[in-house]
Amino acid sequence: MTGRRRPGALALLALALACGHAPPAPAPAPPPGAPPPGAPPSSPAAPALSARGRYGPEPSDAPSALERAALEAALARLAPRPRPSAALAVAARALASGAADGAREPLSRERVRLALAGALSYDPAPVVHLVEADPASAAEALAGELREAGPAFTHAGAGAVIRGRRAYLVLLLSRRPVALEPFPREVALGATAVLRGELEGLERPTVHVTAPSGASRTVPASGAGRSFSASLRFDARGRWLVEVVGDGPRGPQVAALLTVSCGGAPLGRPGEGDESDPADRAAAEARVVAAVNATRAGAGLPPLEASAELTAAARRHSEAMLAAGVLAHVLPGSGTPADRLHRARIAFALALENVAMGPSALSAHRAAEESPAHRQNILSREVTRVGCGIARGKLPGGERVVYLTEIFLAPVEDGTDDRLTPEARVREALWRERARLGGGALASDPRLDELAREGARAMARRGDPAPGDLADRALALGRKVAAVDAFLGARADGAARSKNVGDRRFGRAGVGVAMGERGRYGAGLLYIAVVYTD
């Protein structure tokens, strides 16, 4: 290709979908008698797709000479060499057709998802390259878009459409970490289908679905090792999303995303909505928070409170992902999301995290929202706070990219919004667990309460849940037997796990609770001491 190069477009699907869009090369003047621009295509348009089909097996496909040449040129530049995928080729051809027809956003998230579903591809986040060039140079131009030292892909497919003297060529590259048995793309209302497969390179598979109503849930799955089997009932007409997630060295990863039509509903429609961001980073992040709360409102859930400390933590992780060029929950040296929150001294009863990337913060969020597992985080009934942080940069090819981290948090109980103090909540939990175990009544003892409070405050000051000499001090009160349970918790009612609560030797108990202010576990956690005696 010749002519001035400009950064291409980038779109995202599910967790991350990097799309390189090379600008069209200057076209030579058509020779006399050549069809003018806009004339009927000189190659067949993308074939109409069957209304029915099954995910899993590769569909049948007959690539054109240009598509074969483009795929071979691309594979020659990639190591290890990906396997050709007919499903990706059919999807690529549909995207090329949209570009040739003048779609304003030919690689929009909705268009890519619809093309993948139509082609029976369950790849959640393929990389998409689009070039427009003279047919004779299109394959070479596409190969020139690829980096020899880029990420490793397992599958590839190329699709092309020619309009007049211009070729529109799309290449889809994917890393496919799961093999699925045949699963229907279209089901009847009320039907049940079983999703079976085996992860490759990931472990602990889970299955999630989003119903046409927008409600997302985890589906019980059976299986041994990396294999899984989940029975899915489609009880509402509309578009369903089915997802397989596995754990890897970098945390949870979406392995497969299937669009299923129930009751004859369409698989989707190409969208052209505005997902651009404000120039100001804080304003772009606020727009994501607004989108989160709009989704929650649609599900009848209360809005989340934006948290400055969570936003700062989310920004740090997004910046780390940008620097590493990796979309992941776990980066080298970062630890898990919980580890990062502990280092930031942010205590929590529950913390959930979404990470995504795209050409804008909002497009990245929309892609995460489309993933059933990520949508479950957004619609969690337990969380009350949120922090959304972004980092902006460029991909090696020059395309703009935004990394997005969303942290959802349920804070620890400090008694602020509770009719009971944390100590009263601990007693309530202990007394209930004691009754359940049949251990007889426990009596409160003011002297033991004061001793437990002193111990809890000392643990909080040290930032270490070690009880010290509390048991000896309890025996010094004239008791025959004594034991101390000391632990760190986010919720006062977690005291039910106290190991001595069912011991019949003990008839009295003292409770102390203190809020942590420092230490390796972070501020805000509850240090709980329970002193038992006869």
Domain 54-174 has CATH 3.40.33: yes
Cβ-proximal residues to 40 (8 Å cutoff; 6+ apart), any chain? none
Summarize the confidence of residues 479-508 as an average pLDDT: 86
Identical topology for domains 281-411 and 422-533: yes
DSSP string, 305-366: EE-HHHHHHHHHHHHHHHHHT---S--TTT--HHHHHHHTT---SEEEEEEEEESSHHHHHH
- Asked which of 228-242, 450-464, 484-498 is least confident by mean pLDDT, the reply is 484-498
Query: Which tens digit of pLDDT belongs to each residue from 417-454?
Result: 555 678 888 888 899 888 888 888 889 999 999 999 99
CATH 3.40.50.1440, domain 422-533, yes or no: no
Average pLDDT over residues 348-355: 90
pLDDT of residue 56: 96
Query: Could you report the per-residue pLDDT of 47-91, keeping only the tens digit for each?
Result: 333 346 999 999 999 999 999 999 999 999 999 999 999 999 999
Proportion of the chain above pLDDT 90, given as a percent: 63
Q: Mean pLDDT over all residues of the chain?
A: 85
Confidence check: pLDDT of 42 > 60? no
Confidence at residue 517, expressed as pLDDT on a 0 to 100 scale: 58
Q: Is the pLDDT confidence value at 364 over 60?
A: yes
Q: Is 494 helix (H, G, I), strand (E, B) or coil?
A: helix
The more confident residue out of 462 and 121 is 121
Mean pLDDT of 81-108: 95
Tell me the average pLDDT across 129-153. 86
Backbone phi, psi, residue 357, to 5°: -145, 155
Q: What is the mean pLDDT of residues 21-38?
A: 31
Domain 178-262 has CATH 2.20.25.90: no
Domain borders along the chain are 54-174, 178-262, 281-411, 422-533
User: Mutual orientation of helices 109-118 and 361-370 as an angle, nearest 10°?
Assistant: 30
Residue in 127, 132, 121 with CA at minimum distance from that of residue 11: 127
* 248-275 average pLDDT score: 89
CATH 3.40.33.10 corresponds to the domain 281-411: yes
| pTM of structure | 0.74
